[in-house]
Amino acid sequence: MWTDWIHWLSSTAPDELLLIVLPLLCLDGVRYCFASVAMCLWDAACGSIRPARSPSEYVPDVCVILAGLNESETIVSTLESVWGSYPKLQVIVVDDGSSDGMADLAQEFAATHENVLVLRKPKRGGKSSALNFAIPFTDADVVICVDTDSHLEANAIHEIVQPFADPNVGAVAGTVLARNGGVNLVSQLQASEYLRSIFLGRMLSSRLGILSIVSGAFGAFRREAILATGGWDVGPGEDGDLVLRLRKAAWKIVHAPYAQCLTNVPLAWRTLFRQRRRWEWAIVTFECRKHIDMANISSPNFRMSNLMLLLETWIFRIALTLVGIIVLSWLAITKPGLLGYVLLTNYVLYCVLELLQWIVVMYYTPKPARDAWSIACLPLVPAYYLFLKFASVVAIVEESLWRRSYEDNFVPVHVRRVTWHW
């Protein structure tokens, strides 16, 4: 097989080879690998081992909101990781209609720890509703959202508030990594992916000024910016929607790579597929419909960085993803004898691109001993990303044709019935 493949490579014209690997080079080579390598080389040339980390001198008042539903198993450990990790800290727990005693456990914690407030909502309203419900109970300068099944690193809050020293920064994305990455193959692949897409990928997007997401698992917002934009909108994908509205209001969105949070990731392929479908629905909902005015040059919301953000989504996350699937399907039908060689060629190239990104991750990571293991996943990463691309294609088609996101139980039925279906 290898000998035949090498012979095929040597006998194939360069322009034909380029055509075969072009979708991959455009989809993930340009978007991730080449850009991150260029960023790394620039930092190395400037004499920076890692991006400059601001000393913890800016110390605004902070409120951490933990909004959750039936998270009794993890709420106490999450509270323990948050409480006492920052000098000027308020913690608000919002129980969004739980039935497992989550609020009772949080109340027991609050009884022995200062500045912890527990709010109970008798009926589930969804995460947006829970977050908005907490805002009137704090006057902190910075509001940090943390999932109730997450664990903050010791310096995470210090790191994530530093960019707010710039009064133009409206939101800061933390780095979310997998806490249960060692459980099985599914979680190991996600843990490796998070290092590249969240730690490294968002660092790059932030540098380019096109960061479009602040993860709901760990993200910080200037309270003034939240109030000015009306808070979290009801409906699916509330974190990405708020970030785009902040961008339209001329707030800066940046990433704090060393503000790190550990969260649980899905442990089954089916659960992972459903999660990624839900995430990808938001691409069509927000960046192709609700906030498409960011590309309108006559709109007051038009800014070149916002246009670049939309183009990156339209070209790389939608068009090239669909083209890649179409090309593979066309080869399978018309040239089944060459499909094996085409897949093998792209597989080897993908592994090379992943190796380069792993080297860049090792350059930037504050914990190389913790993250170096991700190289072991490299041989399986191409197949894993093909699985994710398939989930993305399904989501794009579903949301484009049927607005599938508004049928998802992530938002309660009584809420999504009255929500505008963008």
* Per-residue tens of pLDDT for the chain, all 422 residues: 678 888 888 888 887 888 778 777 777 777 789 999 999 999 999 876 655 555 558 999 999 999 999 999 999 999 999 999 999 999 999 999 999 999 999 999 999 999 999 999 989 999 999 999 999 999 999 999 999 989 999 899 999 999 999 999 999 999 999 999 999 999 999 999 999 999 999 999 999 999 999 998 999 999 999 999 999 998 777 888 999 999 999 999 999 999 999 999 999 999 999 999 999 999 999 999 999 999 999 888 889 999 999 999 999 889 888 888 887 788 778 878 788 888 888 899 999 999 999 999 999 999 999 999 999 999 999 999 989 999 999 999 999 999 888 888 878 888 888 888 88
Half-sphere exposure for 68 (CA within 13 Å, toward CB) = 28
**Which residues are 262's β-sheet partners?**
151, 177
The alpha helices in 183-222, defined as continuous H runs, are 185-194, 201-208
Identify whether 91 is part of a domain: yes
Identify whether 305 is part of a domain: no
Say what the pLDDT of residue 54 is.
54
Identify whether 8 is part of a domain: no
**Which residues are 261's β-sheet partners?**
152, 176
User: C-alpha angle 35/41/44, rounded to 5°?
Assistant: 145
Identify whether 356 is part of a domain: no
Domain count within the chain: 1
Identify whether 367 is part of a domain: no
Where in the sequence is the domain holding 185, given as residue range(s)? 62-268
Say what the pLDDT of residue 17 is.
82
**Cα 16 to Cα 9, 10, 202, distances in angstroms:** 10, 11, 34
Say what the pLDDT of residue 332 is.
78
Identify whether 21 is part of a domain: no
User: C-alpha angle 72/73/75, rounded to 5°?
Assistant: 60
Q: Residue 105 belongs to a domain with what CATH number?
A: 3.90.550.10
Extract the tokens encoding 13: 């014209």
* Per-residue 3-state assignment (H helix, E strand, C coil) for 1-26: CHHHHHHHHHHCCHHHHHHHHHHHHH
The packing angle between helices 381-402 and 269-285, to 10°, is 50
Identify whether 363 is part of a domain: no
Say what the pLDDT of residue 41 is.
94
Query: Kind and range of the H or E element at 34?
Result: none
Query: Kind and range of the H or E element at 171?
Result: strand 169-178
**Cα 211 to Cα 204, 205, 246, 305, 313, distances in angstroms:** 8, 5, 11, 9, 11
Report the alpha-carbon distance of residue 236 to residue 281 in Å, rounded: 9
Identify whether 83 is part of a domain: yes
- CA dihedral (324, 326, 328, 333) in degrees, to 10, reads -170
Identify residue 109 by its one-letter amino acid code: F
- What pTM, to 2 d.p., does this model score? 0.93
